[in-house]
Structure 1
Amino acid sequence: MEKRQLGNSDLWVSKMGLGCMSLGTDSSHAKKIIQAAFDQGINYFDTADLYDYGVNEEIVGKTLSPIRDQVIIATKVGNRWNDQKDGWHWDPSKAYIKDAVKNSLKRLQTDYIDLYQLHGGTIDDPSEETIEAFEELQEEGLIRCYGISSIRPNVIKLFAKESSIVSNMMQYSLLDRRPEELFPFMQDQKISVVTRGSVAKGLLSDKVLEKLQSDELPGYLQYTPVEIKELIESIQAKLLTDRTMNEVALQYTLAHETVAAVVTGASSIEQVQDNSRAVKAKPLHKEEIEYLKWITKDTRYENHR
């Protein structure tokens, strides 16, 4: 599978990453999915300390430990579980980040994290000490690079100006084109985008075609249920003669130079294989991209500017 450079770092990630949140806590089942991803040429695995109270990191770390030098492990920090483990709160403080990384390293069974990401954030956070924490962790060799996971324009611009982030994870799909407004800025700043939500909760997956004749399709963001159905039917008529819906969805996000990888979740080996086939398919033609832009909404972020 093709690999793309993450920002200006020395990390080269497969253009499809495995989002590990949906792996579950059955380690045997999760291991098979992770192995299937690696067999498809995926070297980029994305987890977070929040997922399953850290169990997700443990499973990912144990499974990847025999091939640690062949993979890119990304995890996240900032959402802090309370003592009862029945809720969490946001903590971007330097003290917490530098403490949390030790726990993540232990669970991941590794001496370093390839990509450490701030798992959210607002413009009112103490960003100076947050950035200081990541910079120190990088100097100490505990992380190779760091990034953020944010859709807020003001937060993205602040970190682009004040920090050394190499990536930003954003929800991005044909049904949520808001990030496109920021792509030229991030490309200029040499910050790569890694995407999540590229199939828009399944509305852009192959399975949606089975529901077109029913009333099961929901709305999504600025789209009504009727608009969703009309949009899917338009794509089906125009582009699905020799493509799958998965291909259209994933290839559209990969068509933008700023995007280094699409991070897709999977709860089965089949899902990994289907998504991998879609990512390895031929890129969309310029005419196809223009058509998709024409039939979808070119929206912008209204808040956090």
Structure 2
Amino acid sequence: MKFRTIGDLNVSSLGLGCMGMSEYYGNQNEKESIATLHRALQLGVNFFDTADQYGMGENEELVGRGLKSTRKNIHIATKFGFVRDGDGKIIEINGSPEYVKMACEASLRRLNTDYIDVYYLHRVDTRVPIEETVGAMKELVVEGKVRHIGLSEASAETIRRAQKVHPIAALQTEYSIWSRDIEEEILPLCRDLNLAIVPYSPLGRGFLSGKIKSVDNFVENDYRRNTPRFQGENFNQNLTLVQSLEEIANELSISPSQLALAWLLSNGEDLIPIPGTKRISYLEENIAAIDIDLPKDVKDFIDKTVPVGAAVGDRYSLPSMKLLNR
């Protein structure tokens, strides 16, 4: 394993996103998920990402159970902010100081730990000044319950304001070959402020793996069925882009997933992607990307083949898009 840094934490160059083990990507199998967590440990992964809203708390509990025996040797990141009702519907984003404290205590219990390595605000609550939210997160650091503070999908202005209250160690944001919005303003700012960037969905929710040929492959409860990039003609056009990446990967004798991850890893030592999977085979495939060195001419060819903005359709449905870059 190779390592990168978030604050004073040495984290594996690839983390493991655990969301799909509990929700959103089809059916769940706890035995398989626990086995994947344990295999990740064997491969040297020490950075695991979850959130209180994944499975309405069940994902944190799963991560807590699966990693309990090795807690001192790993780093756990979780997030707060989304509030869901009993049916699972998201009803609000809450960044109030009172909620920050309450959410943290609940996450600590579910994770079966007394500290969180990286604690993110999952989405910015525009009703609450970011200074107040981060001020409450700072108190958690002082109390020893949180080691580092992070933000997710925040605007450049919000990041600047937050940084004045307490050092922000990491920004979690979507970033991949076909989601490069951060390159214009957010990425340079993070580098100016020495923030690590933690790209989620580095495989485009599985699309960049080359394994998805039809939305009919998804089970009924897979949320990608309702995501714009997976809809109708958008899907067909995006599939053409992925096929172009498959051709590049084949020439390099690597998989499309490995190509996408190697592309990200080669863009800077401050990038720590967290591809999510609940399957050991995909995990092993992803981890192998750490040792792939993409030549500059290959990266240039990828940029030409899949230029910025090439993906068709928004990343999320309209209501969720409104929660980004706030």
Give the alignment's TM-score, normalised by structure 1. Answer: 0.87
Task: Give RMSD over aligned pairs.
Answer: 2.7
CA, structure 1 residues 151+295, in 2 after alignment: closer, same or farther (shift >3 Å)?
farther
Mapped pair 1:266 → 2:277: yes
Q: CA deviation at 1:253?
A: 1.3
Q: Which residue of 1 aligns with 2:206?
A: 202
Moved more, 26-35 or 56-65: 26-35
Q: CA deviation at 1:161?
A: 4.6
Secondary structure in 1 matching 2:45: coil
Q: CA deviation at 1:87?
A: 4.1
Instruction: Extract unaligned runs of 5+ from structure 2.
Output: 23-27, 215-226, 311-320
Q: CA deviation at 1:29?
A: 2.8
Q: How many residues align?
A: 295
Mapped pair 1:121 → 2:124: yes
CA, structure 1 residues 160+292, in 2 after alignment: closer, same or farther (shift >3 Å)?
farther
CA, structure 1 residues 240+125, in 2 after alignment: closer, same or farther (shift >3 Å)?
farther
Checking the alignment, whether the CA contact within 8 Å between 2:17 and 2:274 is kept in structure 1 is yes
Counterpart-to-counterpart distance in 1, 2:228 and 2:122? 27
User: Identity, % of aligned pairs?
Assistant: 30
Counterpart-to-counterpart distance in 1, 2:126 and 2:120? 16
Mapped pair 1:220 → 2:224: no
CA, structure 1 residues 292+161, in 2 after alignment: closer, same or farther (shift >3 Å)?
farther
Give runs of aligned pairs for residues 131-280 of structure 1, distance below 5 A. Answer: 131-150=134-153, 152-181=155-184, 182-208=186-212, 220=229, 224-225=234-235, 227-241=237-251, 242-257=253-268, 259-277=270-288, 279-280=289-290
Q: Which residue of 1 aligns with 2:308?
A: 298
Checking the alignment, whether the CA contact within 8 Å between 1:170 and 1:193 is kept in structure 2 is yes
Checking the alignment, whether the CA contact within 8 Å between 1:239 and 1:288 is kept in structure 2 is no
Q: CA deviation at 1:184?
A: 1.7
Q: CA deviation at 1:254?
A: 1.3
Checking the alignment, whether the CA contact within 8 Å between 1:255 and 1:283 is kept in structure 2 is yes
Counterpart-to-counterpart distance in 2, 1:231 and 1:299? 11
Q: CA deviation at 1:267?
A: 2.2
Counterpart-to-counterpart distance in 2, 1:206 and 1:229? 8
Secondary structure in 2 matching 1:173: coil
Secondary structure in 1 matching 2:267: coil
Q: Which residue of 2 aligns with 1:33?
A: 36
Counterpart-to-counterpart distance in 2, 1:285 and 1:86? 45
Q: CA deviation at 1:85?
A: 5.2
CA, structure 1 residues 84+231, in 2 after alignment: closer, same or farther (shift >3 Å)?
closer
Checking the alignment, whether the CA contact within 8 Å between 1:193 and 1:258 is kept in structure 2 is no
Checking the alignment, whether the CA contact within 8 Å between 2:153 and 2:325 is kept in structure 1 is no
Q: CA deviation at 1:206?
A: 3.6
Instruction: Extract unaligned runs of 5+ from structure 1.
Output: 212-217
CA, structure 1 residues 186+268, in 2 after alignment: closer, same or farther (shift >3 Å)?
same
Q: CA deviation at 1:122?
A: 4.8
Checking the alignment, whether the CA contact within 8 Å between 2:13 and 2:290 is kept in structure 1 is no
Q: CA deviation at 1:293?
A: 1.3
CA, structure 1 residues 109+236, in 2 after alignment: closer, same or farther (shift >3 Å)?
closer
Counterpart-to-counterpart distance in 1, 2:243 and 2:282? 23
